[in-house]
A and B are shown apart, each in its own frame.
Chain A
Amino acid sequence: MPMRHIISVLLENEAGALSRVSGLFSARGYNIESLTVAPTEDASMSRMTIVTRGSEEVIEQIVKQLNKLIEVVKVADLNEGSHLERELMLVKVKAQGEWREELKRMSDIFRGRIIDVADGTYTVELTGNGAKLDAFLEALDASVILETVRTGACGIGRGERILKV
């Protein structure tokens, strides 16, 4: 059964490092659900979070193949322990008439924030795990959703689980 895994990667902050990772996934036929990357507090290093699906064997290979990349410093499969997962979503919704009030309420229920207000639209900012963001979109009437953008998940281990050099 292909399980969903969140893989964290610390890699040298060098030109081309991202394409080595994405190239690896496409060349070997691994699935990428989402991939996010940004520099860390140590500017020489980036941290990447990859959400992927695969059997145990495939995930083992993914971790090994990532480790094999010269610029990759550390790899962790967050699913090996308890972890946190967050994703940011911005949703632009049609906010007119009775919907204007309803959308404000809905946003509050999901602990979203309305960060832009225009005559006919709201833009809602929402953070949470992927399932929560999905639930928010499902709760909305499809006809009011004008645009969505999601960052993809980033994750971190709980408690003493630390990924650092």
Chain B
Amino acid sequence: MELTGAEITVRCLQEEGVEFAFGYPGGAVLYIYDEIFKQDKVKHVLVRHEQAAVHAADGYARATGRVGVALVTSGPGATNAVTGIATAYMDSIPMVIISGQVPTPAIGLDAFQEVDTVGITRPCVKHNFLVKDIKDLAVTIKKAFHIAATGRPGPVLVDIPKDVTTHKAPFDYPKRITLRSYNPVTKGHPMQIKKAVKLLLSAKRPFVYTGGGVILSEASNQLAKLVKQLGVPCTSTLMGLGGYPETDRLHLGMLGMHGTYEANMAMQHCDVLLAVGARFDDRVIGNPAHFNQEKRQIIHIDIDPSSISKRVKVDVPIVGDVGQVLEELTKQLQASKERGDQHALKTWWTQIELWRSKNCLNYDRSSKIIKPQFVIEKLYEVTKGDAYVTSDVGQHQMWAAQYYKFDKPRRWINSGGLGTMGFGLPAAMGVKMAFPKANVACVTGEASIQMCIQELSTCKQYHLPIKVITLNNRYMGMVRQWQQFFHGNRYSESYMDALPDFVKLAEAYGHVGMRIEKPSDVEGALKEAFKLKDKLVFMDFLTDQTENVFPMVPGGKGLSEMILAEDL
């Protein structure tokens, strides 16, 4: 039997076991929406802006590990989706975005709602396709899911012209697919692994630096095994938080621009560094020349060869799936009769504990004004450290990363690479759709939240009782912080006059709003909010306007050149 392109599209999503498609209809996708209407296997979630559709699919993917799906129309539908796609691309999130396109005969003629979607998205997708022939449709969608989810994951866009959705073809969804030009290596090279074992056993000051690759590869258990076996200190990047339990003694907290003193010092001064699914980016190691001043040997495990020796030259590259390589590494370490230099390790730990005793995340807990860090600490306590926490971008994001201790992977959901304000609320929607019973908190600021605030309406429609934790300091806090430090206190355009009354705004959307102005009210308000199981609660915390994020490695500086709160 022959099916139309629209039927085929929806059938493909069903075959892939897609639970939710986040999207927004429009002219070019009308036939696809007609087929969505006729079935109930793939639930469509109607957002209020295409950017949010992609972020929601992204949040779903980050929380579940499955491929997120978004559906948008041609032209502005596709361009609105671009920010979301680029966000997912930078953080290697598996997604399939289906976009409508003008009919094939109209392509290139500046038709209504036409843009070169494949051209516009090319630099921010793992791959993309324009399907011009109905015969290619099913196999293209299969390829899209395969490419998105394997190797280093990423978003894949399939652009479908409107006439293709009406053309007919027999439907045959391939079970498996192989591409001669795409075969990611998953098993690490045995010789390289052997070298890594030798190096790790010879270390005097070993350190394990872990990134988002640990989460993406579901390698938390393998990582914990290795780290505990060696008894060595470890750290996580912003993207890697939760990959190793943060409450464990061996974990030194997050590293990087706003990392802990101990993590950054250990990163700078270790002699053997095991990098696991991380990419030495500028927010992590700061200035590479400064980083290279200290001599150290680096082992780097990554599934993407181009991430290896990109910013920092590596001594032992291991291309492969992080989980598989860690497992093999641990096996060989266990098999080895050597134990490494325990005396040196002890001395190294003494040094680390000295760094740790700086207590770099301390802040004024007796303040009469709400300290943003305090709100996150209380959020951690009230949710018993077991919530899904999404965030937007800025100071609040860093405080959430620093003060919420993530012990499990996929609980911390934020836009690390692209730094997309407006990500938090729609991402939380995706998480809440995936896990309706879990506590989902969106930590945001009064600036970020306004970038996708229209999604409060989507939350109402789909009964998504997210808790929105707004750290409201009336400034674009991170911009203000940089202006204070590096631009002579000239707060150029970083103050938001005329903020809305968020309590009334929440109520207007049919939710519960709360304003919290005193530190003594923080815990009670949070408890009350999480008790309202079936309500979205918008919590507007009026926080200290002058609070800054510490420690801080200023741009262009080295990891050991942190500014600490106590320095000011």
Instruction: Give the B-binding residues of A (Cβ under 8 A).
Output: 11-12, 15-16, 19-20, 23, 27, 57, 60-61, 64-65, 67-68, 70-73, 165
Contacts and interface: CB of A to CB of B under 8 A. Distances in A.
B181 A65 contact: no
24 contacts: A12-B181, A16-B118, A16-B130, A23-B123, A27-B123, A57-B309, A57-B313, A60-B309, A61-B306, A64-B305, A64-B306, A67-B305, A68-B304, A68-B305, A70-B126, A70-B179, A70-B181, A70-B182, A71-B127, A71-B181, A72-B181, A73-B180, A73-B181, A165-B180
Choose among A57, A67, A68, A70 the residue with the greatest number of B CB atoms under 10 Å from its CB.
A70
A64 B122 CA distance: 18
| 4 nearest A-B pairs in the assembled complex, by CB-CB distance | A64-B306, A70-B127, A73-B181, A64-B305
Among the interface residues B180, B181, B309, which one has the most CB atoms of the partner chain A within 10 A?
B181
Interface residues of B, number: 18
Nearest to B123: A27
Contacts of B310: 61
Interface string B112-132: 000000110011001100100
B333 interface: no
B147 interface: yes
B279 to A, nearest CB: 13
A41 B566 CA distance: 69
Contacts of B123: 23, 27
Nearest to B310: A61
Contact of B119 (A19, A64, A71, A165): A19
Contacts of B309: 57, 60
A70 B147 contact: yes
A20 B182 contact: no
Contacts of A73: 180-181
Nearest to B306: A64
Contacts of B304: 68
Interface of B: 118-119, 122-123, 126-127, 130, 147, 179-182, 304-306, 309-310, 313
Contacts of B126: 70
Contacts of A16: 118, 122, 130
Per DSSP, are chain B's interface residues mostly helix, strand or loop, or mixed?
A: mixed
Contacts of B127: 70-71
Nearest to B307: A64
Given A19-B122, A23-B122, A70-B126, A65 B179 contact: no
A32 B145 CA distance: 33
Nearest to B126: A70
Given A61-B310, A67-B305, A15 B130 contact: yes
Contacts of B313: 57
Contacts of B179: 70
Nearest to B313: A57
B306 A11 contact: no
A65 B126 CA distance: 12
A67 B184 CA distance: 10
A16 B127 CA distance: 11
B306 A65 contact: yes
A35 B386 CA distance: 54
Nearest to A12: B181
A150 B180 CA distance: 33
A6 B186 CA distance: 29
A12 B182 CA distance: 11
A55 B123 CA distance: 24
Nearest to B147: A70
A149 to B, nearest CB: 28
Given A60-B309, A64-B306, A67-B305, A11 B181 contact: yes
A75 to B, nearest CB: 11
Contacts of A165: 180
Contacts of A12: 181
B419 to A, nearest CB: 18
A82 B83 CA distance: 46
Contacts of B130: 15-16
Contacts of B119: 19
Most interface-central of B123, B180, B306, B309 (chain A CB within 10 A): B306
Contacts of A64: 305-306
A45 B182 CA distance: 14
Nearest to B152: A68
Contacts of A11: 181
A165 B306 CA distance: 22
B452 to A, nearest CB: 27
Nearest to A165: B180
B161 to A, nearest CB: 13
Nearest to A65: B306
Nearest to B184: A68
Nearest to A44: B180
Nearest to A60: B309
Contacts of B306: 61, 64-65, 67-68
A23 to B, nearest CB: 6
A16 B130 CA distance: 9
Contacts of B122: 16, 19-20, 23
A80 B535 CA distance: 64
Contacts of A57: 309, 313
A39 B394 CA distance: 49
